[in-house]
A and B are shown apart, each in its own frame.
Chain A
């Protein structure tokens, strides 16, 4: 029997989480360069190194999170269930 039509978009949310991770890693490459042009609020080299490492670490964590959610999708097939409707932006609980 053919699988029911997938009506929610969990794959899209998972892609978003992956993109958050990629954005964190992407941003980390520009921290030192952007810091050089500051007039006020210039950070120390120690700060830039620490922040850069944290951005990369969190970027990797978000990507791993996206991979885990993808695995969960294949195991639970929760993406084939209809998403709860929150048309007004307010949960059905409200």
Chain B
């Protein structure tokens, strides 16, 4: 059997599970942030912390046991640097305007929220804007590869914490996984206990939440944060292992690069993306690069995963009786989501990924990308929230 067919066949199943986990678990970074700031509710954040904790720990164990050799795992590690900070700020502001991050976009659009389809359209436009204008005019690739050393780290082993901290020790990935994964899990557990205590106090009786129930499995009830988080992590592990054991390349989760692929597929009958378009000459720059579309593969496993994730989210929304074509009362929200989508698309391309591809996968790669992405992402979302409170 063709190994690529097998890889994509498995990734499609993972995508359906991912869509269900997103839609039933309401896994959205913006919702999590807004709920904390506005309602002091940590439930969605708990799910995200469980997802991060379980998956980071699992990746550490997989690499330490040699199930996926370190050489294969680091082959997919991006370089990290200044662009993570800059891109995350723009990305965070964009998703804050739209009210949905990349995972939130999929489950909300898949559940019938029209403004999130507009956000997706904005991302597609923003990616084209980046690909044909920002990328060649600023010679973006050059500044990533030849930047000042302290502003960036090379990819691969140079940006692999277990190697930086423990050399070639076989237990290195496990220890780093334990440090970060353990932190996320302890924080998730603490927030869960704190929320239970708060509800118990309000109700005057001991409150407990089932991790899993029949109604959750029948999609009638929303997933508990722990179930949503577990499924999130399982998907990342499936994709990682399936890619390695089929085509011998370890793949990490990502969502925004596939949107670039979608642009290419949609435009393919109308524009030749690889010829003259985007070859601009700016004499003050050290080297001219081509447009962004020319340097990314025509498809990565995540391209199919995103389509399957949309399908999974829409299916569970229908089965759960929650699919509804929802149009915002204020039509200006379409414009806000379109502009937010453009910022999101450009920010994600500058940061080489989104809250899934750079933040979550950054931790899964044990690179610095996740740690660099996180603070400015939160700052961007906070600024967008304050901006909206000021103008609306």
Question: Hey, which bits of chain A sit against chain B, CB under 8 A?
Answer: 8-10, 12-14, 16-17, 20-21, 23-24, 26-27, 30-31, 33-43, 46-51, 53-55, 57-58, 61-62, 65, 69, 78, 81, 83-87, 89-91, 93-94
Shortest Cβ distance from A59 into B: residue: B307
Q: What secondary structure prevails in chain A residues at the interface with B?
A: helix
Set B9, B110, B296: member contacting A57, Cβ < 8 A: B9
Complex CA gap A20/B41 in Å reads 34
Whether a CB of chain A sits under 8 angstroms from the CB of B212 is no
> Would you call B298 and A35 a contact (CB within 8 A)?
yes
Complex CA gap A30/B12 in Å reads 19
Q: State whether A90 and B35 are in contact (beta carbons under 8 Å apart), knowing that A8-B324, A51-B8, A81-B321 are contacts in the complex.
A: yes
> B97-120: contact bitstring with A at CB < 8 Å (1 yes, 0 no)?
001100010001011110000000
Neighbouring A residues of B196 by C-beta, 8 Å: none
Whether a CB of chain A sits under 8 angstroms from the CB of B290 is yes
Whether a CB of chain A sits under 8 angstroms from the CB of B379 is no
> Would you call A13 and B112 a contact (CB within 8 A)?
yes
- A40 CB to closest chain B CB (Å) equals 4
- A56 CB to closest chain B CB (Å) equals 10
Complex CA gap A9/B275 in Å reads 43
> Would you call A38 and B274 a contact (CB within 8 A)?
yes
> Would you call A17 and B12 a contact (CB within 8 A)?
no
> Would you call B314 and A17 a contact (CB within 8 A)?
yes
Neighbouring B residues of A50 by C-beta, 8 Å: 2-8
The 5 closest A-B pairs by CB, nearest first: A37-B274, A50-B4, A54-B8, A50-B2, A41-B297
Q: State whether A94 and B297 are in contact (beta carbons under 8 Å apart), knowing that A27-B265, A55-B304, A89-B99 are contacts in the complex.
A: no
Whether a CB of chain A sits under 8 angstroms from the CB of B161 is no
Complex CA gap A51/B303 in Å reads 10
> Would you call B322 and A86 a contact (CB within 8 A)?
yes
Complex CA gap A45/B297 in Å reads 13
Neighbouring A residues of B275 by C-beta, 8 Å: 37
Whether a CB of chain A sits under 8 angstroms from the CB of B164 is no
Complex CA gap A87/B273 in Å reads 40
Complex CA gap A16/B9 in Å reads 21
Set B8, B222, B273: member contacting A55, Cβ < 8 A: B8
> Would you call A20 and B310 a contact (CB within 8 A)?
yes
- B321 CB to closest chain A CB (Å) equals 6
Whether a CB of chain A sits under 8 angstroms from the CB of B37 is no
> Would you call A49 and B314 a contact (CB within 8 A)?
no
Neighbouring B residues of A53 by C-beta, 8 Å: 2, 5
Q: State whether A41 and B296 are in contact (beta carbons under 8 Å apart), knowing that A83-B323, A90-B31 are contacts in the complex.
A: yes
> Would you call B265 and A30 a contact (CB within 8 A)?
yes
Q: Which of A10, A26, A27, A33 lies at the interface centre, i.e. has the most chain B CB atoms within 10 A of its CB?
A: A27
> Would you call B265 and A26 a contact (CB within 8 A)?
yes
Complex CA gap A39/B297 in Å reads 9
Neighbouring A residues of B294 by C-beta, 8 Å: 37-40
> Would you call B5 and A10 a contact (CB within 8 A)?
no
Q: State whether A54 and B12 are in contact (beta carbons under 8 Å apart), knowing that A31-B298, A31-B299, A39-B294 are contacts in the complex.
A: yes
Complex CA gap A31/B304 in Å reads 12
> Would you call B112 and A9 a contact (CB within 8 A)?
yes
Neighbouring A residues of B261 by C-beta, 8 Å: 27
Q: List 27 A-B contacts (CB under 8 A).
A: A9-B323, A9-B324, A13-B323, A14-B318, A16-B310, A20-B307, A20-B314, A21-B311, A34-B264, A37-B294, A38-B295, A39-B290, A41-B295, A46-B4, A49-B5, A50-B4, A50-B5, A54-B4, A54-B5, A54-B304, A61-B12, A78-B321, A84-B320, A87-B326, A91-B222, A91-B322, A94-B43
Complex CA gap A75/B39 in Å reads 41
Q: State whether A30 and B268 are in contact (beta carbons under 8 Å apart), knowing that A38-B297, A40-B294, A81-B321 are contacts in the complex.
A: yes
Shortest Cβ distance from A20 into B: residue: B311
Neighbouring B residues of A78 by C-beta, 8 Å: 321
Neighbouring A residues of B111 by C-beta, 8 Å: 13, 86
- B169 CB to closest chain A CB (Å) equals 33
- A24 CB to closest chain B CB (Å) equals 6
